[in-house]
Structure 1
Amino acid sequence: MIEVKKDKNDLYSFVVTAKGGNSILQSVPFPTKKELSATLKQLPPLVSKPSVFERKTSHNGKFHFTLKDQRGSIIGTSKDYSSEAGMENGITNFRNRISGLDQSQLP
């Protein structure tokens, strides 16, 4: 599921959640809903490319990934995972959620 949020500064963001309701990825803020919608429409073809996922390890040993667009700009960041395998599973779940979306299901 993709949930769109508007914050107190009138910036838009989206959260992609797993079927169980856990957050998989939180987007960066977008200044307009139009920009957010354009980014969401890019996601289905984008997630099939391995180069858009950047895997990282934090200083405390937790794992997370960032999603980048074709220009290399960060679109969003995942939650922290306790293992590398968990992070890889998060990427797989994210891909499955996005590739299974119909354009009409996007906010």
Structure 2
Amino acid sequence: MAAKYHLKRASDGQFHFSLHASNGEIVLSSELYKAKASARDGIESVRQNAHRDGAFELKVAVNGKHYFVLKASNGQVIGQSQMYANRANAEGGVAAVKRYASDAGISDDC
């Protein structure tokens, strides 16, 4: 299976996407967008920013789990990872986004 962005409509009618690695695991999830075109723009922003120095920020949640966010050059969060047990696994998630972001196709489930 190839890596893919899955574009979907939420139950409230808004749109969101997730980037799935080649093994099907979700490595990045977006915020909700009111318009489908905005969600597609978000995918393009992931593609453009995934290789930019300083685009990823590793964080620790209140429960001690690790995660990361991907930010655009203006500082706006484009996507967030799942929670990981440790920092090394979160860093592996960052590497996966970098590996798949540019070439992943789009599955439009809307």
The match for 1:37 among 17, 36, 40 is 40
Rounded Cα–Cα distance in structure 2 between residues aligned with 1:62 and 1:8: 28
Task: Give the alignment's TM-score, normalised by structure 1.
Answer: 0.88
Q: Which runs of 4+ in 1 moved over 4 A?
A: none
The match for 2:68 among 58, 65, 70 is 65
Q: What is the identity, as a one-letter code, of the residue corresponding to 1:75? A: I
Q: Which has the higher contact order (CA 8 A, sep 6+)?
A: 2
Rounded Cα–Cα distance in structure 1 between residues aligned with 2:10 and 2:48: 28
Q: What is the identity, as a one-letter code, of the residue corresponding to 2:12? A: N
Aligned to 1:77: 80
Unaligned runs of 5+ in 1: none
Task: Give the alignment's TM-score, normalised by structure 2.
Answer: 0.86
Paired residue total: 104
Amino-acid identity (%): 24
- Please tell me whether residue 86 in structure 1 is matched to residue 76 in structure 2: no
Aligned to 2:101: 98
Unaligned runs of 5+ in 2: none
Higher helix residue share = 1
- RMSD over equivalenced CA pairs, Å: 1.4
